[in-house]
């Protein structure tokens, strides 16, 4: 008999002038239980200072086995699990409270980078098996997405040793690209299916699989 476990699934509010965030809309539609994982959903403000605090407070309260943060990466074609977060904030645009840190270290006592300890390659393969476009990303950017991923992994390294965490980016949905005809998109129901496939891979893979997932540049 499978032992129930918990996964904290987070998503950001809309930002950058958008009225909708596909990450948040998809997370709302993810089932409350995927395989043996009870899904705890959390809306996160797209604000540097508040994002990490919001998620860490939930981690402390819920004590999940896994944390998967979801964000929008407009311009990407597929769903992209993130391999690494770096210790820098360098915002191209302000966050939702007008903060725009430039070349700022996130945690002075943190590592230069933290790798996700989720099975990111298994997640990519599971999304592909669901018939959706996916690839492994080696850059979560330098905006609030990377900030949150780094903050979660920092706290896992320092405090929540048994926990696993990471980040996954999703594309625009079609209604966001009406005035961006050169940008790819993915239907919301497909993003939901992709997230559930990734979550299933997290539940089913204690260790990551060894398949090609790198890039030349």
Q: Which residues are catalytic?
A: 82, 145, 169
Alpha-carbon gap, residue 9 to 25, rounded angstroms? 12
Report the Cα–Cα distance between both ends of the chain, in Å, rounded. 45
Alpha-carbon gap, residue 83 to 88, rounded angstroms? 16
Length of the chain: 217
HSE-up of residue 30 (Cα within 13 Å, Cβ side):
31
Between helix 48-62 and helix 144-158 the angle, nearest 10°, is: 40
Give CA angle at 88 (91, 101), nearest 5°. Answer: 35
Tally of CB atoms within 10 A around 18 = 14
């Amino acid at each position: 008999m499978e032992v129930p476990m918990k996964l904290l699934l987070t998503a950001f509010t809309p930002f950058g002038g958008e009225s909708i965030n596909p990450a948040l809309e998809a997370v709302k539609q993810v089932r409350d239980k995927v395989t043996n994982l009870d899904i705890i959903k959390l809306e996160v403000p797209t604000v540097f200072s508040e994002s990490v605090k919001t998620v860490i407070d939930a981690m402390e309260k819920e004590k999940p086995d896994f944390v998967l943060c979801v964000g929008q990466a407009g311009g990407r074609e597929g769903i992209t699990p993130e391999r690494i977060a770096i210790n820098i904030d360098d915002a191209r645009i302000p966050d939702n409270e007008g903060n725009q840190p430039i070349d700022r270290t996130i945690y002075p006592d943190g590592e230069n980078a933290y790798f996700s300890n989720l099975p990111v390659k298994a997640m990519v393969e599971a999304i592909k098996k669901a018939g959706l476009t996916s690839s492994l990303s080696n850059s979560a950017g330098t905006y609030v997405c990377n900030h949150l991923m780094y903050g979660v992994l920092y706290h896992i390294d320092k405090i929540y040793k048994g926990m696993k965490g990471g980040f996954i980016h999703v594309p625009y949905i079609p209604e966001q690209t009406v005035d961006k005809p050169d940008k790819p998109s993915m239907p919301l129901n497909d993003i939901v299916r992709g997230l559930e496939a990734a979550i299933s891979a997290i539940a089913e893979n204690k260790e990551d699989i060894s398949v090609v997932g790198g890039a030349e540049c």
